[in-house]
Amino acid sequence: MKSRVDYKGSLIFDGNIRERKIEIDGNGETAPRPLEYLLTTLAACTSMSIVSILDRMHLEIKEMNTEVEGIQNEEPPKIFKSINIVYSIHGKVNQKQLEDAISLTMSKYSPTAVMLIKSGIDIRYSYEIKN
pLDDT digits over 40-99, tens only?
999 999 999 999 999 999 998 999 999 999 999 999 999 999 999 999 999 999 999 999
Give Cβ neighbours of residue 82 (< 8 Å, ≥ 6 apart).
Answer: 70, 71, 121, 122, 123, 124
For residue 24, the model assigns a pLDDT of 98
Fold for domain 1-32? N-terminal domain of TfIIb (2.20.25)
| Cβ neighbours of 77 (radius 10 Å) | 6
Return the CATH number of the domain spanning residue range 34-130.
3.30.300.20
Alpha-carbon distance 68 to 45, whole Å?
12
What predicted TM-score, i.e. pTM, was given to this entire model?
A: 0.95
Furthest C-alpha separation in the chain: 50
Domain ranges for the chain, please list them: 1-32, 34-130
